[in-house]
Amino acid sequence: PYTEGPKLVAAMEQHVKEYDVDIMNLQRADKLIPAAQKGGLHEVRLANGAALKARTVVLSTGARWRQMGVPGEEEYRNKGVAYCPHCDGPLFKGKRVAVIGGGNSGVEAAIDLAGIVGHVTLIEFGDQMRADEVLQKKLRSLKNVEIITSGQTTEITGEGGKVNGLNYTDRNSGESHHVALEGVFVQIGLVPNTEWLKGSIELSQYGEIIVNDRNETSIPGVFAAGDATTVPYKQIVISMGEGSKAALSAFDYLIRNSAE
């Protein structure tokens, strides 16, 4: 049946409460201290000074969309500014939208949106798109797509509480331009919430927690799941499945490494 993200999370939390699980809301993990030996206790320190110790830890801190930081972006968030083309694309059926970013995610988003919306304007900061050539070729073949390179978005404009366009500067000529549209999809990457893990666990060049197919990290007994990891395709249903895998791997670790 149809549901929405917040409702799904609330239902899952209610389900968890039916078990003997302590839920600590409004707490932020600040540091991970690995066990001194395999099978020992790992320590997670919280920002409030408290410390949690356990033989296994599952990290699922998620990721946040990288923002442009321009005027209007936050003001019109969910009022025309979006970050998930798969989630929000259908809301812009037949309308004019822009995609910010010419990497793989941006070009893939533009291709997907072109089949739904009336027109797509893709704006890339660099002098050329960075996506795989096969994706660029597909994008260029679409008749309702315009590609702008060397474009720096400077402002998202709106009227009546919703987006009505954006301003960008041509980085070669210095000229400013306005594009009239009704939606802006920001596709300049995700930022994993792993800053607190630097120096304690192996991370990718993008700050993602490196995991194998069993959700194991570089630290025995520490597992990870979801958007904070190197697993591709950042989608709710995938993260839920990865969470189940991580929990099963943690259970398997416990029974194979019983405390002495």
* Residues with catalytic function: 84, 87-88
Rounded to the nearest 5°, which phi and psi values hold at 92?
Answer: -110, 25
| Alpha carbon of residue 39 to chain centroid | 32
Angle in degrees, CA 104, 105, 111, rounded to 5: 90
| Of the candidates 151, 98, 163, 94, the residue with the CA atom closest to the CA atom of residue 127 | 151
Contact 225, 60 (CB under 8 A): yes
Rounded to whole angstroms, how far apart are CA atoms 34 and 129? 41
Residue appearing with tokens 């069993």? 214
Contact 92, 99 (CB under 8 A): no
Rounded to whole angstroms, how far apart are CA atoms 185 and 77? 10
* Residues recorded for the chain: 260
Nearby residues of 95 by Cβ (< 8 Å), 6 or more positions away: 117, 118, 181, 182, 183
| Residue 213, token pair as written in the block | 């197919």
Rounded to whole angstroms, how far apart are CA atoms 228 and 59? 8
HSE value, Cβ hemisphere, 13 Å, CA-based, for 148: 21
Rounded to whole angstroms, how far apart are CA atoms 151 and 170? 5
